[in-house]
Amino acid sequence: MILTSHAIIGVAAASAFPSHPALAFSAAVASHYIMDAIPHWDYKLLSSKEDADAPLNNDIVVGKNFLSDFKKVFIDALLGSIASSFLFYFFGFGHSMLILIAGISGGIIPDILQFVYFKFRKEPFKSLYIFHLFTHSRYKKLKQHIVAGISLQILTISLILLLAKYLMSM
Ligand SMILES: [Zn+2]
């Protein structure tokens, strides 16, 4: 899933533990893997190099396309931070800045750790990468359908936020 979705859902998950920042962060990290397991659309990174037979050899090449990919990811993360802060403060998803930060960072960190694995290829990043690959949906058909993909992602987020709001009001 895109980082915007991960940040929003991360904050919703973190809000379940308003006075436990460490638990809030863990819940946000867990939400990342759960959301990635659902078939979804992702934007393409031009510097991404995938090896279908040996996914441990996947890479993000720091070459000519890297800067434009970096901008894409940066805008995505920024948008996610703004959108989730907005939800956090205006839709009653929590009260403390620490929980907001735990939610955003926990929600997006598994994807950042993938990049760390690509550049260092060492533990514990390797195991985390294997876990990420294992939990990530292998359904690729949505890749070509950007409008359906984004709509589905908005729908998924909305349903999860509604569910989170409902659970918090119980
Ligand atoms: Zn991911």
Is the pLDDT higher at 136 or at 139?
136
Is the pLDDT higher at 9 or at 165?
9
**Arithmetic mean of pLDDT over the chain:** 90
Q: 0.85 cut: is pTM over it? A: yes
CA of 153 to the centre of ligand 1 (A): 14
Q: CA 121, CA 114: separation in Å to the nearest integer?
A: 10
The dihedral of CA 139, 120, 130, 150: what is its sign? negative
pLDDT in tens, 76-135: 999 999 999 988 888 777 668 999 999 999 999 999 999 999 999 999 999 999 999 999
Residue 69 is predicted with a pLDDT of 95
CA of 93 to the centre of ligand 1 (A): 23
Residue 133 is predicted with a pLDDT of 92
Q: Which residues surround ligand 1, an ion (CB under 5 A)?
A: 36, 111
Helices (H) and strands (E) in the chain, counts: 6, 2
CA of 33 to the centre of ligand 1 (A): 7
pLDDT in tens, 59-80: 999 999 999 999 999 999 999 9
In the chain, helix, strand, coil percent, each to 5? 70, 0, 25
CA of 85 to the centre of ligand 1 (A): 21
Residue 154's alpha-carbon distances to 5, 40, 61, 130, in angstroms, are: 8, 11, 30, 27
CA of 170 to the centre of ligand 1 (A): 30
The dihedral of CA 12, 13, 19, 25: what is its sign? negative
